[in-house]
């Protein structure tokens, strides 16, 4: 299996945000959660809600255009 970009997820105090996702994106997040669990040795996949923040954080950190403008 390919190494995923998302590594272990730290437990942090969350801020509640409500979003709507297209069904396809939700299905992909469920599949990603399963792959992430297998990749990091978790017994059960994390809830999709736990994946979104680290994924956004990683995306923002790797966005060169954003870094130049910040």
- Model pLDDT for residues 24-40, shown as the tens digit of each residue: 999 999 999 999 999 99
Domain boundaries, the chain: 23-69
Percentage above 70 pLDDT, the chain: 97
- pLDDT for res 1: 63
Q: CA geometry: angle at 19 spanning 14 and 23, to 5°?
A: 125
10 — pLDDT class (breaks 50, 70, 90): confident
Alpha carbon distance 51, 5 (integer Å): 12
pLDDT at 65: 86
With a cut of 90, say whether residue 70 has pLDDT above it.
Answer: no
Residues 49/55, Cβ–Cβ less than 8 Å: no
Other C-beta atoms lying within 10 Å of the C-beta of residue 40: 14
Would the pLDDT of 48 be above 90? yes
């Amino acid at each position: 299996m390919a190494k995923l970009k998302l590594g272990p997820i730290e437990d942090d105090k969350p801020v509640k945000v409500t979003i709507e996702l297209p069904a396809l994106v939700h299905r992909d997040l469920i599949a990603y959660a399963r792959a992430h669990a297998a990749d990091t040795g978790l017994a059960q996949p994390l809830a999709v809600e736990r994946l979104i923040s680290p994924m956004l954080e990683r995306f923002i950190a790797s966005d060169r255009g954003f870094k130049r403008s910040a």
